[in-house]
Chain A
Amino acid sequence: DVKVTQSSRYLVKRTGEKVFLECVQDMDHENMFWYRQDPGLGLRLIYFSYDVKMKEKGDIPEGYSVSREKKERFSLILESASTNQTSMYLCASSIGGEGSSYNEQFFGPGTRLTVL
């Protein structure tokens, strides 16, 4: 079974703090994704990566950055957390390389981030 793990299930941070969310997958997947999910807005893609050291902006990258130094690990960074970044953050991975985004995605358990 594909396993995608995220560093924290729940996180509480203060406005202005730098926040790191980590995601690790153990199936040697090429593609990794970060989403946020909010009531009524569904899943929104923040950033994705098709390979180590590669990153692509999704639909809502503002206020976020990412790092992919190793194939199995994809980190999401909130440079200066704000209250409007309170959300459920979901990491996902899929098999295949660049251009092979048709494959099904497998999600981690999510991190519920609250910014005070």
Chain B
Amino acid sequence: RKEVEQDPGPFNVPEGATVAFNCTYSNSASQSFFWYRQDCRKEPKLLMSVYSSGNEDGRFTAQLNRASQYISLLIRDSKLSDSATYLCAVNGRDDKIIFGKGTRLHILP
């Protein structure tokens, strides 16, 4: 099992819809979880940290499921500007942060 895995997508979602994607991780001892957003040909930017109790920021909700070892990102009322690649990041066995390869999201008008 890879340390961090994401469905590469693309997810094609109509504007206004709700979309969710997951990121699975293999290290049961992982403590740090993040979601990043990356626009085409730009750098990843931190979207939100994921806490044990979950995290919500406006239309974005991140959750952690330790039992099944995945984190999720839910986007409500999606906007055209949400189109991007979403990377998850988790601390690995050697304590370095491991990034997933990303899930591409296309919001359709």
Count of B residues near A, CB < 8 Å?
20
User: In whole angstroms, what is the CA distance A90 to B45 when docked?
Assistant: 12
Closest residue on chain B to residue A88 by CB atoms: B41
Q: Is B97 an interface residue (CB 8 A)?
A: yes
Count of A residues near B, CB < 8 Å?
21
**Interface locus among B15-23, B58-66, B99-107:** B99-107
B96 touches A110 (CB 8 A): no
Q: List 19 A-B contacts (CB under 8 A).
A: A42-B99, A42-B100, A42-B101, A43-B44, A43-B87, A58-B96, A88-B41, A99-B95, A101-B91, A101-B96, A101-B97, A102-B95, A102-B97, A104-B46, A104-B89, A107-B44, A108-B43, A109-B43, A112-B41
User: In whole angstroms, what is the CA distance A112 to B40 when docked?
Assistant: 13
User: In whole angstroms, what is the CA distance A109 to B45 when docked?
Assistant: 10
A41 touches B101 (CB 8 A): yes
Say what secondary structure dominates the interface of chain A. Answer: loop
On chain A, the residues within 8 Å of B34 by CB distance are 104
B43 touches A107 (CB 8 A): yes
